[in-house]
Structure 1
Amino acid sequence: MKVNKTIIIGFIFILLAGIMFVTDIFNPIIRPITYLFLMGSSKGKDIIFFGLLGLFLILSQLIDKEIDTIKYLKISIVLGGVLLILGIVLEIMFRLQLGIGLNTVFCSMTNGMSSTSILHTHLLKAILGGALVNLLGPFIQSGINTGVGLYAYVPSFGFLVILLIPILFATIVLASQKRPWFTNFLLAFFSSCLIIGIIDGGMFATPSYVGIFGLLLVHRNGYYLNYIIGRVLKDENLLKQNELIQPGYRNRGFGEIRYLFNRFLIWFIVIAFILLRFTVAFAGAQPDYYTVDVVNPTDNIDLGNVSANVIDNNTSSNKTTYHIDPSYNEMKLINDLKVPLNNSCEYYTITWNAYSYLDGYYE
């Protein structure tokens, strides 16, 4: 492996990740950018993103011999899709195991507050977070949420699912070999988003969409993206390399409509999945009131600022149920319950209310 510009840029990204781990000096510059595609960026996500981005760029220069990169890119797309689906399966198994609703946000209060839901799962993150805490415990900074509070609740099947992530990593590296530089950067970017989305967010998270559909975009339309960049930058070497990765539907004698359908199919799929995400969110919403179940509460719970919005409550042997005014923004409610319920219960669940985001408030 010879040192070239791609490898140097990769090392710069890894160095940036290292700097971000020990200092917040770049946060005001980087956070507003990564927030757009990492769905509410955090310090931990930013560090992992730039570390993976640099690593993928470096490893894309690893192998000199010919490899069927198209085959490995297809395998990566399938594996990524399977992992996203299995993340949802884990959430369903976990909820059936505890006997809680599918349309709820689960908030563990053990070892700090950690939340998970079908719309934004953290179960795989909890497995990796548990391993990370065991290895690096004292070195993990307070700004990095490992999700370790969910570790005890993860179904055993999750520990098998996590083994697919290194396999996905390997197929992505193989899919990146001997490609034009622009394709390498796109694959590194989208693959980093995909792995972050699988670990933190799941099927309906923004980085998952960016990652899986980005890989599909490179597979189906990478030739045209390289062609545009090559023409704009007048990069003849890029254009020459690009001729070796033409999509299967090009120069096949297809009619114009069939050709355009193949070329823009990816965008129809993206729109369909975005609609699916909103359909699930609104179909599972409980707009009349929030149902908050506090499990194994201590005596005399005080909900703090939330108390003024409680409609009614009732207590059973191990659970107190509150009905809360639906005008409360869902995210604000979760955050406002976090402090008063700290060390006051084992966990609590909140029903979804996607309608609460339509009033323009978002925290």
Structure 2
Amino acid sequence: MKFKPSMDKSIIFGIIMILIGFTILFTNYIDSFVTQLLWPLLEGSSEGKTVLFLWLIGFTLIIISLIRQNKALCDKLYKDRNYHLKYLKIAIILLILCAFIGLFIEAYIRQSFGVSFFTILTSMNPSTSTTSPMHSHAYKSVLGIFANHIVPSHVNTGSSILQYVMPYALIIVLFWPAIYVLGVVGISDMNDLHRFVALIALTVALIGLIDGGLFSQPFLIGFGFLLLVYFSNGRIGIKYFINPVVIMGFILLLGMLIEVGGSDTTCHTLYVVNQTGPVDMEEFNVTNVEVRDDMTIYTLNSTTP
């Protein structure tokens, strides 16, 4: 029997979300309003995350509707009533694995420069981009290869970081689509409430993975709710919070240890590598300057003059 999809509410709403995304990307009518509205979820100052969020939600709604309408496909994908959890489980494992690999890439960058793991990297060429263990743009820089050709110039794609994370960050090209496909297949067979929660969670987790990394607000929110949806499996009860809370507690504790371990209230250290011009430090309380080959190290007192 030939499958003939119908234009249901999910597909219509998905198309609307995609069109709103295009409107925000290429006009200035509603970008500020929608970006501020989604700030608690996405923690984004530009419309880049907002557009990606709307597009992902829109496309996912359409795909989920098509899957659910195709009974023959559902029979192949879901061999029993809990089979969808197997797809979601693999997606969750790949998600956290990719996030930790991103943290290791951040460590590799700093090891290659011979600086502290807690150092924030600021690349000035060709445009200013930053990355750090607490807010990583390693994967975002890979996305910049494709995004630079379609997004407005004021949207920072992190492409300046790419030269320092190649080729390791390219794993996101394999991981990200795999997580998305497995996640969508996993949540398509859920009840309405859990499917809605998982849809939002998967979307913000994928956005957080490429823009912010393991400790970013979107990733933590999305990953936490994906864990909750997985362990609860359509049920409601306090006991289903235990495993998600323990796992999220470990991630948050690790983040706190890195944050505290990298804190120094007495001074700041600025490493300037491959300097091509003079650095204006008049506004800062510089207590020491050290030159090592192509690196200049400035020690700054925490209090300005």
TM-score, normalization by structure 2: 0.87
Work out which of the residue numbers 61, 86, 92 in structure 2 matches 1:77: 92
Work out which of the residue numbers 275, 284, 288 in structure 1 matches 2:253: 275
Report the AA paired with residue 309 of structure 1: N
Give distance in 2, aligned partners of 1:84 and 1:92.
13
| 3-state SS in 1 of match to 2:271 | strand
Give distance in 2, aligned partners of 1:326 and 1:125.
31
Q: 1:180 to 1:8 in 2, by over 3 A?
A: farther
Report the AA paired with residue 284 of structure 1: G
Give distance in 1, aligned partners of 2:238 and 2:199.
27
Work out which of the residue numbers 292, 297, 300 in structure 1 matches 2:270: 292
Q: 1:280 to 1:308 in 2, by over 3 A?
A: closer
**Greater shift in the superposed pair: 279-288 or 315-324:** 315-324
Cα deviation per residue 1:299-355 (whole Å; 9 max; x = unaligned)? 432246xx2433332334322221223257xxxxxxxxxxxxxxxxxxxxxxxxxxx
**Conservation of the 8 A alpha-carbon contact between 2:224 and 2:244:** yes
* 1:1-363 superposed matches below 5 A: 1-63=5-67, 64=70, 65-66=74-75, 67=78, 68-133=83-148, 136=149, 139-221=150-232, 223-224=234-235, 260-303=238-281, 307-327=283-303
Q: What is the Cα-based RMSD across aligned positions, in Å?
A: 2.1
| 3-state SS in 1 of match to 2:289 | strand
Report the AA paired with residue 114 of structure 1: S
Give distance in 2, aligned partners of 1:90 and 1:300.
30
Report the AA paired with residue 123 of structure 1: A
Give distance in 2, aligned partners of 1:34 and 1:201.
16
Q: 1:287 to 1:179 in 2, by over 3 A?
A: same
Aligned residues between the structures: 289
Q: 1:70 to 1:300 in 2, by over 3 A?
A: closer
Give distance in 2, aligned partners of 1:169 and 1:300.
46
Give distance in 1, aligned partners of 2:277 and 2:220.
43
Report the AA paired with residue 205 of structure 1: S
Give distance in 1, aligned partners of 2:274 and 2:112.
17
Cα deviation per residue 1:77-116 (whole Å; 9 max; x = unaligned)? 1111111111112112222223222110001111101111
TM-score, normalization by structure 1: 0.74
Gaps of 5+ in 2: none
Q: 1:301 to 1:210 in 2, by over 3 A?
A: same
| 3-state SS in 2 of match to 1:203 | coil
Q: 1:141 to 1:260 in 2, by over 3 A?
A: closer
**Greater shift in the superposed pair: 4-13 or 196-205:** 4-13
Cα deviation per residue 1:152-192 (whole Å; 9 max; x = unaligned)? 11132222343111111110121122333333322221111
Give distance in 1, aligned partners of 2:281 and 2:21.
39
Q: 1:109 to 1:299 in 2, by over 3 A?
A: closer
**Conservation of the 8 A alpha-carbon contact between 1:57 and 1:185:** no
Q: 1:325 to 1:123 in 2, by over 3 A?
A: same
| 3-state SS in 1 of match to 2:122 | strand
Cα deviation per residue 1:115-149 (whole Å; 9 max; x = unaligned)? 1111111111111212333xx2xx43122111111
Gaps of 5+ in 1: 226-258, 329-363
| 3-state SS in 2 of match to 1:144 | coil
Alpha-carbon offset, residue 47 of structure 1: 0.7
Report the AA paired with residue 168 of structure 1: I
Report the AA paired with residue 160 of structure 1: I
Give distance in 2, aligned partners of 1:175 and 1:299.
53
Give distance in 2, aligned partners of 1:27 and 1:325.
40
**Conservation of the 8 A alpha-carbon contact between 2:228 and 2:240:** no
Report the AA paired with residue 55 of structure 1: F
Cα deviation per residue 1:205-225 (whole Å; 9 max; x = unaligned)? 111111111111111235246
| Identical aligned residues as a percent | 28
Q: 1:224 to 1:326 in 2, by over 3 A?
A: farther
Give distance in 1, aligned partners of 2:51 and 2:25.
7
